[in-house]
Amino acid sequence: MIKYRIYLTAEERQQLEAMVSKGKQKASAIRTAHVLLASDEAIGSRQRESAISAAYHLSTKSIERIRKQFCQRGMDLFTPQPRQPRSDKRIDGSVEAHIIAICCSEPPAGQSRWKLQLIADKVVEMGILDHLSATSVATVLKKTSLSPGASRSGSSHQSKVRSLSAAWSRS
């Protein structure tokens, strides 16, 4: 079943054909143009997904994704999108301090301990960051050797490690 149907206008078809024939674009853009041209239903010669996937060495999921992106963005599909900054790069010392403070506080009512997603939601709710993933919270807590569900709270808890220097003796 086709979720996204492609009906190219004459101008869009002309732009895509020019893109394919010139070959000056990135290979991924040319491949996308090929898929869109093969998927066009406006002229009645739409190819099946299996035929397109075999012809252009793509999975049917990739073809669906290209069709979906075209239906949502149109020809803007070929303009490069600005890169999103990584969320872990936005976590500085003050954000880490807030995460640790949340983790050391009492868990919310109905919860026996803080879960990673609850901590992330609390940071967003407090307005410290716009978005924070549970994975980023786990990374921060791993760096500080703090577990969100530990029975003893505190970020300065050090585990005792037995020294191996005595075991390594030269003869």
The residue-averaged pLDDT of 110-127 equals: 92
Cα distance between residue 164 and residue 4, in whole Å: 63
Whether the CB-CB separation of 16 and 32 falls below 8 Å is answered with no
- The whole-number pLDDT of residue 61 equals 92
The model's pLDDT over 84-93, given as tens digits with 9 standing for 90+, comes to: 776 556 788 8
Using pLDDT thresholds of 50, 70 and 90, give the confidence band for residue 164. low
pTM of the model: 0.51
The pLDDT, as a whole number, for residue 130 is 87
Which alpha helices (H) appear in 23-152, and where do they start and end?
27-39, 49-56, 60-73, 93-104, 116-125, 134-143
Domain ranges of the chain: 10-78, 87-143
